[in-house]
Each structure stands twice: as C-alpha cells, then as structure tokens.
Amino acid sequence: MIARPLDVQLLNACAALLLLVSFAMLAQRRVVALVNLLAIQGGLLCMATLLLAWRSGQHHLYVSAALTFGLKVCFLPWLLYRLIRRLEVYWDTEPMLNVAGTMLTGLITVIFAFGLAQPIAALGTTAARNGLGVAVAVIFLAFITMITRRKAMSQVVGFLSMENGLFFGAMSATYGMPMIVELGVALDVLVAMLVLGVFFFQIREQFDSLDLGHLESLKENP
C-alpha cells in the first residue's frame, strides 16, 4: 500500500462521502431532509474544491469554491425551503420501487459507473482523478432519484444533485471547467431553479398537487 499525502486522502474521503449522500438521497422520502442532504452535498463539494485548489495551486478553483458555497450551500437550499413551506409539500408519495429495490439498483449502477470511469481515470494526471468514478456514480444516482420520484420537488432536487455530480466530474478530470463556462452553468442552474419555482405554482394550480403523474392525463380530459 502506497502512502499518500493527507490532502489527497481527505479529498478521497470527500468523494466517498459524496457517494454516501447520494445514496441517502435515494432512500430519503421526506422532502425537507432531501434538501438538507442537497445542502450537505454542496458543502462537501465546496470542501473538495478547496482541497483541490490547495493541492494544485489553481487559483480559479477558489472562485468556484466560493461560487459553490454561495449558490449550492446557501441560496438554492434556502429557495427550496421557502418553496416547500409555501407549497406545503413535506412528503413524497411512495416511490415506484421499494427502498431496498432502489438501493440495490443504485448499487449496480455504481458498479457500472466505476467500471465506466476506470479507463478514463487511468489516463488522467490530476490529484483527484479517482473521483471521476464517484462523479459518474453521483450523476447516475441522481438520475435514479429523478426517475423513481413522482413529486416535482424531489425531481428538482435530483436535478441539482446531478449538476453537483457533473461539477465534481469536471473538477476531478481537469481541475474544473474554464471560468466562463462555470459561471454560465451556475447562472443556468439559478435561472432554471427560479423558472421551476414558478412552474411549481402553475402545476399546483392546474392539478391541486405536485404529483407529476397527473401530467400523463393531460390529453384525455382537456
């Protein structure tokens, strides 16, 4: 076993915890707890970015860490809490698969993601190249979260978690995207979130619920 510097070990621990939080999201059915987990995921991402910035000496990573903290740890969770309070959605309905089934599906997906990322990571030279597998796994787990939920609110949390995964992937593969792209993505997420907030109210007005299952019946009763 090769001894590694402590900051790389801490980085790996962050990656492992990101994966764990994604699994917790898969199992969690309370919407408020889901948003808490999203905030924790943002915090871990921020910490990983800081460690990587320290490790690699890339100064623009400090900026993206600050951006992550402001947007993903503070603003978006706050916005989601506010929406939850105003829309009064606290529980998601029974997921389409039971919890154990979802977790096992998630486990198989993680194995697939790790296998997928291994050859790519082998080419990488960054300190966090092993994180790529975790990033792909987080993206897939967020997909499963979105697929198995019915409520619009939890699907949005899944979407944001997916964005976290993409961000972590970019960071571990190439020390982050160019600043202009990162700013653009952050703005996109922000705008998407605000627009979706408006959508929630529209959906609820139309169907008296945030259950997206109702959208399937749009054609039949005009």
Partner 1 sequence: MNAVTWITQIVEALVALTAAPLFVGWVNQCRAWLQNRRAPSIWLPYRGIGKLFMKDALIADSASPLFRAAPYIVFGLMVTAAAIIPSMGTRLPFTSVADAIALVGLLAAARFFISLAAMDIGTAFGTLGARREMLVGFLAEPALLMVIFVASMISATTALPLIAERLATQDFALYPSLAFTAVAFTMVLLAENARIPIDNPATHLELTMIHEAMLLEYSARHLALMEWAAALKLFNYACIGFALFIPWGIPPGEVGPELLAASLPVLAAKLAVAGAGLALIETVSAKLRVFRAPEFLASAFIFAVLGMLVHLLLEN
Question: Footprint of partner 1 on this chain (CB under 8 A)?
Answer: 1, 3-4, 6, 9-10, 12-13, 15-17, 19-20, 23, 27, 99-100, 103-104, 106-107, 110-111, 114, 117-118, 130-131, 133-134
Judged by beta carbon, residue 66 or residue 122, the one nearer partner 1 is 122
Q: How far is the CB of 4 from partner 1 (least distance, A)?
A: 7
Q: How far is the CB of 15 from partner 1 (least distance, A)?
A: 6
17 in Cβ contact with 24 (< 8 Å): no
Closest by CA to 176, choosing from 43, 24, 76, 57, is 57
152 in Cβ contact with 34 (< 8 Å): no
Q: How far is the CB of 21 from partner 1 (least distance, A)?
A: 12
Q: How far is the CB of 110 from partner 1 (least distance, A)?
A: 6
> Which residues, other chains included, contact 169 with Cβ-Cβ below 8 Å and sequence gap of 6+?
131, 132, 135, 136, 139
Determine the 3-state secondary structure of 222 from DSSP: coil
Judged by beta carbon, residue 3 or residue 180, the one nearer partner 1 is 3
- Residue showing tokens 């790519």: 120
Q: How far is the CB of 126 from partner 1 (least distance, A)?
A: 14
Q: How far is the CB of 139 from partner 1 (least distance, A)?
A: 15
Judged by beta carbon, residue 136 or residue 196, the one nearer partner 1 is 136
Dihedral of alpha carbons 67, 169, 173, 127, sign: positive
> Which residues, other chains included, contact 158 with Cβ-Cβ below 8 Å and sequence gap of 6+?
25, 142, 143, 145, 146, 149
Judged by beta carbon, residue 16 or residue 181, the one nearer partner 1 is 16
Dihedral of alpha carbons 67, 72, 74, 79, sign: positive
Between the alpha carbon of residue 61 and those of residues 5, 11, 29, 113, 144, the distances in Å are 20, 14, 34, 25, 29
Judged by beta carbon, residue 25 or residue 153, the one nearer partner 1 is 25
Judged by beta carbon, residue 46 or residue 135, the one nearer partner 1 is 135
